[in-house]
Amino acid sequence: MSILVDENTRVVVQGITGREGAFHTKQMLNYGTVVAAGVTPGKGGKQVKGVPVFNTVYEAVEKESANVSCIFVPPPSAGDAIMEAASAGLGVIVCITEGIPILDMVKVASFLKDKNSVLIGPNCPGIISPGKTKVGIMPGPIHKPGGMAVISRSGTLTYEVVDQLTRAGLGQSTCIGIGGDPIIGTTFIDHLKRFKDDPETKGVVLIGEIGGTTEEEAAEYIRKEFDKPVIAFIAGQTAPPGRRMGHAGAIISGGEGKAENKIKALEDAGITVALDLGSLGKTASKIMGKS
């Protein structure tokens, strides 16, 4: 099994005619993802990499049965693109776009409350179920099918961790980059609940970073509700307060968001925390009984 996406997923790429949209459409197709349609207003009737382009998401759903969106729309229009996808009834929306104005995301978050859409991102690498499909920009070759789930706030660190897991003989069930912006569609807990009920997932790697309290909240959920092994890493352990480190959401402010607080909360919940990123693969292998 996998969560949210699988070999039956039919993707519509919003912004497919742009440079990033076209490039990553090709990469998804090469991986085996069914990219059923693309959307760029005013360019309906064209094709990109053999994929038909429509003017609206509704047309893509109606004519090509698209059920998942991948968004490569520029920041000023990305919020509207998310809401268009939700209005068209898409169950999963993956927004790669970085730099969406916070006020736009406030509007999006309110709009999605009564919709049956799961938003991954924005400012994320997407989601991949190895051997089945990938939606986004994750590099396919480093992944292999298996029982480890990965949930991460950092795209680049996701790739590093997945590579270590694969080299350690630990394949992955589904890997999700939830995004690094202050307002994102789904959290660690949202996906932990899904992985809890996924029989294929035997353990989880959680990659957090400074800023916010989502890791502490996840630790409390894991302590109370989650009975599968969890290995964690927190990025930004040497970051000074008040300075943003990489992601817009990765900033220590008001005494919240410190790496040491997150690490303590995770360890108090019985979670193994790798303090050195380079050791995470070996740590996971040991926890999962591979050595």
By annotation, the residues acting in catalysis are 247
Task: Find the distance separating the first CA and the last CA of the chain, reported in whole Å.
Answer: 26
Spatial CA neighbour of 88 closest among 109, 120, 105, 63: 63
Sort 221 into a burial class: Cβ within 10 Å, 0-12 / 13-18 / 19+.
Answer: middle
Per-residue three-class SS string for 160-217: HHHHHHHHCCCCEEEEEECCCCCCCCCCHHHHHHHHHCCCCCCEEEEEEECCCCHHHH
Q: Name which of 190, 208, 191 is nearest 245 in CA terms.
A: 208
Q: Which amino acid is at 86?
A: A
Residue 75: Cβ within 10 Å count: 14
What are the φ and ψ backbone dihedral angles of 145, each rounded to 5 degrees?
-65, 145
Q: How many residues does the chain have?
A: 291
- Count Cα neighbours of 165 within 13 Å in the Cβ-side half-sphere: 32
Alpha-carbon distances of 35 from 68, 123, 142, 291, rounded to whole Å: 9, 21, 21, 40
Residue 114, judged by CB atoms within 10 A of its CB (0-12, 13-18, 19+), counts as exposed
